[in-house]
Amino acid sequence: MAHVPTNRRLAFTDRTAAGLRPAAHAVDWRDTITDGLSLRVSPGGAKTWYVLYKRAGQDRRKKLGRYPELTLANARIAARDDRLRVDRDHADPAAERQEALAALEPTFTVKDLCELYMTVESKPKKSTWKDDQWRVDKYILPPWQARAVKSITREDAHDLLDKIAAAGKGTQANRVQALISSMWNFAMDRSKADLNVCHRMKKRAKERPRERVLADQELRDGWAALEAAPGDASDAIRLRLLTGKRGVEVHTMAWADVDLDKALWMVPAARAKNRQPHSVPLSPAAVTMLERRLEARQGKEARVFPGLYHQRKDLRALAEIHAGAYRWHDLRRTVGSRLAGLGFSEELIGRLLNHAKRGVTATVYNQHAYEAEKRTALEAWARELDRIVTKKPKAPASVVPLRGRK
């Protein structure tokens, strides 16, 4: 959706119409001679004639044509004719134009848009495309799939998002809003929509960075619940807790990227959030779990966790473990915080979590890979996690491993 146009008035002549220059946002110039005639100048320089009128107390606008193809004289004639029909016959010229256009071309429905967006934009470019597909299937298609894309209004978008938020899913409403905005921008780029119905729309929920770190008892309870529900989803969560990796990185983990002999997992750039490849040393506990999964591998299945994604039912069902007390992303924060508690440096923790490097020293001059240090840290964390889960007493401070600390 373009910036709300600025309205200005002008007695049009051919010279003044030709001389209007584009601004940073759309500007509507109202003719002071012909009532209702307006010339919109877009930021790109396009000039379009409109006739403005009221219908049932509502402001309405009908597109007449582009200038200079439609001359000033002919635009004035068209505007007068439409205004006369509005006053005399209670006509609605804008609606008539939409009906005429619809009769000339097949209706492009929301279902058509969803299929095109997923095929061309989401699947090839987003590692989280399955989350997009889940939101499309759950929230967007049920109420809108048969409707024409151009018939969806900003009010429709508000109604849909309000219902999601009213169900206590404010953050989910924000995600659906972002997806609708991306889809309608995509549709506008392909001339399938006239505006983005979520442009500059206020979000339903205010999101704050979370600070949740799991306590020892929560780790014990969670680990026990995962062992009681064996499968792809529980194994993936355990691996996230052992490595500190993001969900999408674990869910899309491929056997081709794992070297069990070297106890190493290479995350390719295409599957990393910051598009930077990075290595993940695997602790003995992680290797044992992956060896078990390799033995149960079906045929030549490429993925370690076949078909797993954020919204899959078995993964969502495991949310009952914590009853909403924490989220799966909190596991990553827990790993980072626990490593700091074990005495490992912020620099090393950042490398482990594959955070973007900052500053000239980190990005240019320090090319050390920290492989040995990362392995020391993750193996220390695996031992600490095992101690917590099995309720073993803490080792005396004097025998805590110091290698890899800063």
Q: Same domain, yes or no, for 185 and 241?
A: no
Inside any domain, residue 194: no
| Structure tokens, 117 | 């967006």
Cα–Cα dist 26/80, whole Å = 24
Q: What is the CATH number of the domain that holds 49?
A: 3.30.160.390
Inside any domain, residue 44: yes
CB 93 within 8 A of CB 54: no
Cα–Cα dist 74/394, whole Å = 88
Residue 189: its pLDDT value, please?
92
Inside any domain, residue 207: no
Cα–Cα dist 204/283, whole Å = 42
Cα–Cα dist 37/27, whole Å = 14
Structural domain of 32: 6-103
Q: Same domain, yes or no, for 115 and 99?
A: no
Residues of the chain with pLDDT under 70: 1-6, 102, 104-105, 207-210, 274, 322-326, 356-369, 395-406
Q: Same domain, yes or no, for 253 and 310?
A: yes
Q: Same domain, yes or no, for 233 and 380?
A: yes
Q: Same domain, yes or no, for 173 and 281?
A: no
Residue in the block written with tokens 């194994």: 235
Q: Same domain, yes or no, for 35 and 162?
A: no
Cα–Cα dist 157/197, whole Å = 7
Inside any domain, residue 343: yes
Please work out, in degrees rounded to the nearest 5, the angle formed at the alpha carbon of residue 37 by the alpha carbons of 34 and 41: 135
| Structure tokens, 370 | 């920290």
Q: Same domain, yes or no, for 275 and 384?
A: yes
Cα–Cα dist 257/237, whole Å = 19
Q: Same domain, yes or no, for 158 and 132?
A: yes
**CA end-to-end distance (rounded Å), the chain:** 52
Inside any domain, residue 33: yes
pTM: 0.55
Q: Same domain, yes or no, for 87 and 220?
A: no
> What are 51's strand-pairing partners?
37, 62
Inside any domain, residue 211: no
Cis peptide before 68 (omega within 30 of 0): yes
Residue-by-residue DSSP string for 277-304: -EEEE--HHHHHHHHHHHHT--TT--BS
Total number of domains constituting the chain:
3
Q: Same domain, yes or no, for 73 and 175?
A: no
The DSSP secondary-structure symbol of 363 reads I
In terms of Cα–Cα distance, which of 289, 285, 383, 393 is closest to 339? 383
Cα–Cα dist 333/329, whole Å = 7
Inside any domain, residue 200: no
Give every CB contact of residue 198 below 8 A, 6+ residues apart in sequence.
154, 157, 177, 180, 181, 184
Cα–Cα dist 341/333, whole Å = 12
Distances in whole angstroms, Cα of residue 262 to Cα of each of 253, 282, 284, 287, 302: 17, 9, 11, 10, 19
Q: Which of 76, 103, 130 is the last residue of a domain?
A: 103
Q: What is the CATH number of the domain that holds 304?
A: 1.10.443.10
Q: Same domain, yes or no, for 39 and 94?
A: yes
Q: Which of 88, 103, 118 is the last residue of a domain?
A: 103
Inside any domain, residue 199: no
Q: Which of 152, 173, 189 is the last residue of a domain?
A: 189
Residue 165: its pLDDT value, please?
92
CB 312 within 8 A of CB 251: no
Q: Same domain, yes or no, for 134 and 48?
A: no
Give every CB contact of residue 146 below 8 A, 6+ residues apart in sequence.
109, 110, 111
